[in-house]
A and B are shown apart, each in its own frame.
Chain A
Amino acid sequence: MKLEELEQIAESVRLENAKFDHEVNVCMGTGCLSQHSDRLKEALTAEVAASGKQVLVRRTGCMGLCAAGPLVLVDPEEILYQHVNATHAHDVVASLGGEPFADLQCDLREHFDQQVHVVLENSGHIDPERIEDYIARDGYLALVKILADMEPNDVIKEITESGLRGRGGGGYPTGLKWGTVAKAVGDIKYVICNGDEGDPGAFMDRSVLESDPQRVLEGMAIAAYAVGASKGYIYVRAEYPLAVQRLQACLRDARRRGLLGNNICNTPFSFDVEIRLGAGAFVCGEETALIASIEGKRGQPKPRPPYPAVSGLWGKPTLINNVETFANIAAILRMGAKKFAEIGTGKSKGTKVFALTGKITNTGLVEVPMGMKLRQIIEGIGGGVPDGHKFKPVQTGGPSGGCIPEELLDIEVSYESLIQAGSMMGSGGMIVMDDTSCMVNVARFFVEFCKTESCGKCIPCRAGTAQMHTILTRICSGEGTMTDLDLLVDLGGTIKETSLCGLGMSAPNPVLSTLRYFKNEYIEHIVNKRCPAGVCNMEAPAAVAKQLEVLA
């Protein structure tokens, strides 16, 4: 594959698309598919054939606004229809070339105009299983160019200058990580893409893998070239069958086009990727646990150092990055590090994709520049809390993060500011809660999650989360005492400081952050035996709590 060939493919796709007067893009991500957008697409195709119009009906990935699905985007007019089903196919096709079909048209300029799409630039515009569509939107341009003109070190320099940081949650500078792997001694090195999106309430990686999988492959190939690896693994959750299926199709296409495999673009660089399925363990999102899982073992983390960059998969130097991190790479190399670094704040560059869910009007996927205020994301893009309820907190970072109350909504979204607020960036789940959610109950939910997901290797995490759960259950059933609160803080501190891996180190965060901002709710439960949100059942038999204590 040479640059000219790439341009040829892009040109032929453009020529083909130019034959059509309109493009009707039908969202076929998991969200819209669950509402039978596949039948909708068939109906649209049939209608188009019957009408004789020159229209391309295209399957695309997620358009972001899952709450209003199934979504249909008509190009070039850029008209977005919401809640479309197969019975509307006739009206939608009939309106092409004339006035838009007003019944279904949605005007969400406020939702879309404030977003900056880097990672999601192709989502909703290309057929995820057609590599040609991706190439027509400058796909693989970065890979082919760097293979021809750039030394691996220059690629790492460019990524370092862009200021990109790991999007999996930790925020480790990506360039630095690549540099360490590149310098590590060893003839065999590996690149792993972490798609084990275990954080309940987050679906950014699923969406990227379903909508624009080639982008992740290109990022991985560039990383492999930069660090000197020749083999890659994508670790995806088995719960995401559609993402796996699309990835498999993409791998086939990329190999067929010579963009993966031996001697890519007639250079000495060879790289191939294998898919590994997760099997439902949250802890496998931790890098050493994920590596153990790829090796076919129980997903238990190991103490670091040695870091995977030095001794990872099968003891070889291994680069491991998140799906979203890899999805940024090609865009950075195409636009240049400087331009990318212009987006965002001092220490957090670029954009971040968030999965906006919970009690919010526009649930779905949003991509915003770092530094945007939380309030703007929730009230502007998200459309605020529906049904006249009152906003309470927003939960970021999943079971490792914390709840941010209303008075802190004016902080900017960046790695540092979220940690300062007692939460963390995490992989990008953002769950909005209103006055019908009980903070103690939510804290208990997360601790229960960490308790069941703890791998059991280290004691602070295994026994500590169980004890925390017992105490919180006690408070929720109206049997807590004020000393329980001190105990929670003390225990939380111990778990945080002494656990082996990130799961344990961050497991107390939901408890500590709700204790920090919503202490009065805890006190209300203990002193007045009353749940302000009306969620906890205070008459629950005491035996339940006792039973749990025995188990712990």
Chain B
Amino acid sequence: MPAFTPPPLPSDDKRWKIVNGTMRKNGFARHALIETLHTVQSSFVYLDDDSIRFVARSLRVPLSQAYGVVTFYHYFSLKPPGKHTMTICTGTACYIKGTDKLVAEAEKRLGIPQGQTTKDGKISLMTARCVGACGRAPVVLADGEVNGLMTGEQMLEQLERWAVE
């Protein structure tokens, strides 16, 4: 049986080398699928069709299985996020302290439902299931930075700042 040769990198974008590195470290084993997808997402911010195809071919995983894994886990995103991301925690502790209202206010301000990005591509509105900072509930993540004891006004101020940028 001829030795397996992984497919060529999709482009000369240096980030593919990082992705390839993760796969090589795992010996191109199939079980490295999730690890590799993590690397793709951290390098390219989201997963597009080309990257999923490339990873599936490199690891000899059926494309259906790779796509199945991507859609199963919430952490993987198939759409590019906006320039800024407001993630509102909707874990139990935050919910008890009223993040449902925060979500509603943000949706109203941005005119989009949660999980989407504004038309100008500036702001994405996301919800998370608990970031583990329940002691400071309610919590929002402004571009990944944890902000505790959040009020509606503070959050809207942040959104305003991003909107006029």
Residues on A close to B: CB < 8 A? Answer: 30-31, 33-35, 65-67, 69, 197-203, 206-207, 237-240, 276-282, 293-299, 355, 357-359, 363-365, 395, 398-399, 429, 431, 433, 437, 442, 445-446, 449, 453, 455
Contact A358 B35 (CB under 8 A): no
Most chain-B Cβ atoms within 10 A of its Cβ — which of A201, A298, A365?
A201
Q: Are B34 and A34 in contact (CB under 8 A)?
A: no
Answer whether residue B83 sits at the interface, using C-beta atoms and an 8 A cutoff.
no
Determine whether the beta carbon of B95 is less than 8 Å from that of A363: no
**Which bracket fits the contact residues of B?**
35 or more
Q: Does B136 interact with chain A (Cβ within 8 Å)?
A: yes
Q: Is B125 an interface residue (CB 8 A)?
A: no
Please tell me which one of the listed residues A240, A277, A449 contacts residue B129 in the complex, with CB atoms under 8 A apart.
A449
With a cutoff of 8 Å between Cβ atoms, the chain A residues found around residue B91 in the complex are 200-201
Check B129 against A358 for contact (C-beta < 8 Å): no
Contacts A/B (CB < 8 Å), 18 sampled: A31-B148, A34-B147, A65-B135, A198-B129, A200-B130, A202-B134, A239-B128, A239-B130, A296-B33, A296-B35, A296-B69, A355-B134, A357-B93, A358-B93, A363-B134, A429-B92, A437-B96, A453-B129
Are A201 and B133 in contact, with the CB atoms below 8 A?
A: no
Whether B72 pairs with A299 at a CB distance below 8 angstroms is: yes
Given contacts A280-B75, A298-B69, contact A34 B146 (CB under 8 A): yes
* Complex CA distance for A395 and B91, rounded to whole angstroms: 13
Q: A201-B93, A203-B133 are in contact. List 17 more A-B contacts (CB 8 A).
A: A34-B133, A69-B135, A198-B130, A200-B92, A203-B130, A277-B35, A277-B38, A279-B34, A279-B75, A281-B74, A296-B32, A297-B65, A298-B72, A355-B134, A357-B135, A358-B92, A429-B134
| Alpha-carbon gap, A130 to B33, bound state (A) | 32
Known: A279-B73, A280-B74, A398-B92. A357 touches B134 (CB 8 A): yes
Pair B31/A279 contact, Cβ less than 8 Å: no
CA distance A278 to B73 in the complex (A): 9
Check if B132 is an interface residue, CB within 8 A of chain A: yes
The interface residues of chain B lying within 8 Å CB-to-CB of A280 are 73-75, 129
Least Cβ–Cβ distance between B68 and chain A, in angstroms: 6
Q: Which of B81-98 contact A (CB under 8 A)?
A: 90-93, 95-97
A433 to B92, CA, bound (A): 10
A-B pair number, CB within 8 angstroms: 143
- Please pick, from B31, B134, B145, the residue contacting A294 in the complex, using a CB distance under 8 A: B31
- For the complex, give the distance between the alpha carbons of A281 and B91 in Å: 14
User: Nearest 6 pairs between A and B by C-beta?
Assistant: A66-B135, A200-B91, A279-B73, A201-B92, A34-B146, A200-B130
B163 interfacial contact with A, CB 8 Å: no
Q: Does residue B137 face the partner (Cβ distance < 8 Å to A)? A: yes
Q: Contacts A34-B145, A239-B128 given; indicate if A431 touches B136 (C-beta within 8 A).
A: no
Contact of B135 among A277, A365, A399 (CB under 8 A): A365
Is the Cβ of B146 less than 8 Å from the Cβ of A30?
A: yes
- B1-48: which residues lie under 8 A (CB-CB) from chain A? 30-35, 37-38
In the bound complex, what is the Cα–Cα distance between A279 and B74 (angstroms)? 7
| With A198-B129, A277-B35, A279-B74: A395-B92 Cβ-Cβ less than 8 Å | yes
A297 to B69, CA, bound (A): 6
Q: Mark B138-156, 1 if CB is under 8 A from A, else 0.
A: 0100000111100000000
Q: Is B76's beta carbon under 8 Å from chain A?
A: yes
Which residue of B is nearest A238, CB measured? B75
> A197 CA to B130 CA in the complex, in Å?
9
Min distance, Cβ B11 to any Cβ of chain A, angstroms: 25
Bound-complex Cα distance A206 to B96 (A)? 21
Q: Tell me whether A359 and B96 are in contact (CB under 8 A).
A: yes
Contact A239 B132 (CB under 8 A): yes
Q: A30-B132, A201-B130, A357-B93 are in contact. Are A279 and B76 (CB under 8 A)?
A: yes
Q: Please state if A67 and B136 are interface contacts (CB–CB under 8 Å).
A: yes
B73 close to A197 (CB less than 8 A): no
Closest to A205 in B: B132
Residue of A nearest to B68 (CB): A298
In the bound assembly, the distance between CA atoms of A298 and B75 in angstroms comes to 13
Min CB gap A168→B, angstroms: 16
A197 to chain B, nearest CB (A): 7
Report how far A448 CA is from B5 CA in the complex, Å.
46
Q: Is the CB of B96 within 8 A of A433?
A: yes
Interface centre among B31, B33, B134 (most CB of A within 10 A): B134
B73 (CB) vs chain A CBs: closest residue? A279
Which residue of A has the minimal Cβ distance to B38? A277
A203 touches B34 (CB 8 A): no
Asked if B131 is at the interface of the complex by the 8 Å CB criterion, the answer is: yes
A449 to B75, CA, bound (A): 16
How distant is the Cα of A444 from the Cα of B72 in the complex, in angstroms? 23
A200-B75 in contact given A297-B69, A355-B134 (Cβ < 8 Å): no
Contacts of A399 in B (CB 8 A): 92
Q: How far is the CB of B43 from chain A (nearest CB, A)?
A: 14
A395 to chain B: closest residue by CB: B92
* Cα–Cα distance between A328 and B79 once the two chains are bound (Å): 42
What residue in chain A is nearest B33 (Cβ atoms)? A296
Rounded to whole Å, the gap between the CB of B60 and the closest CB of chain A is 12
CB of A67 to closest CB in B, whole Å? 6
Which residues in window 110-129 of B have CB below 8 A to A?
128-129
